[in-house]
Amino acid sequence: MRLGVNIDHVATLRQARYAGVQDVQRAEPDLALAAAVCERAGAHGITIHLRADRRHIQDRDVLRLRDTINTKLNLEMGNTPEIVDIALRVLPEEVCLVPENRKEVTTEGGLDVSGQFKQLEPTLKRLQLAGIRVSLFIEPAPDQIEAAAKLRAEMVELHTGAFAEADAKTRELELKRLQVAAEHAHGYGLQVNAGHGINYTNITQVRTIPHLAELNIGHSIVSRGVIVGLGQAVEEMLKQMNRTR
């Protein structure tokens, strides 16, 4: 499995002190440096979410990271004209379309692809015509997978939040949902990724989900990085991800 490190919360730390400061030389921590540390530690890509409210990642971060990262840039974004236009200017290797609610602390669920099919279709076409691979962040549900395949997305990212937050009684059921969904998506020829709430403990169970190509992990790695350093945190997660089953 490949690892995409989400560095949104490195930006959250910066914004806590330097919100509104345009001089990147003054503001710390430095996102480009954080991305470079992750790459040197073995990360296969850098993920950032440019939200409409700009609560952490800023437009200038997207531009700077586009110029400095050496692996690939995965831009998480809502399906809004402003953010789509930015993606088409910046041209990340990948875009992951996610639902977005200004009141939420973090992304709380999967994108309703089947319910928003008509709104999503032109966006996917524009992004793909520009050479950007598109992923859809969805619940592990058959109708969402089938809609993603019908839209001709290259990838789905299964939302692992319900699994990560489940108690002991329901976690196995949520894991089974993810396993079945991964098989279903693979059967449609979709690349299967996963993310949300994955940490150094539950990764043992996440590894049992079949056909996983890539995990996008942010909060847990950044949190671990506060204690042991970001590079070591990435290395530890990679070892856990790819430990022999």
| 3-class DSSP string for the chain | CEEEEECHHHHHHHHHHHCCCCCCCCCCCCHHHHHHHHHHCCCCEEEEECCCCCCCCCHHHHHHHHHHCCCCEEEEECCCHHHHHHHHHHCCCEEEECCCCCCCCCCCCCCCCCCCHHHHHHHHHHHHHCCCEEEEEECCCHHHHHHHHHHCCCEEEEECHHHHHCCHHHHHHHHHHHHHHHHHHHHCCCEEEEECCCCCCCHHHHCCCCCEEEEEECHHHHHHHHHHCHHHHHHHHHHHHCCCC
Q: How far apart are CA 62 and CA 56, in angstroms?
A: 11
Residue positions annotated with a catalytic role? 49, 76, 196
Which of 55, 232, 39 has its CA nearest to residue 47?
39
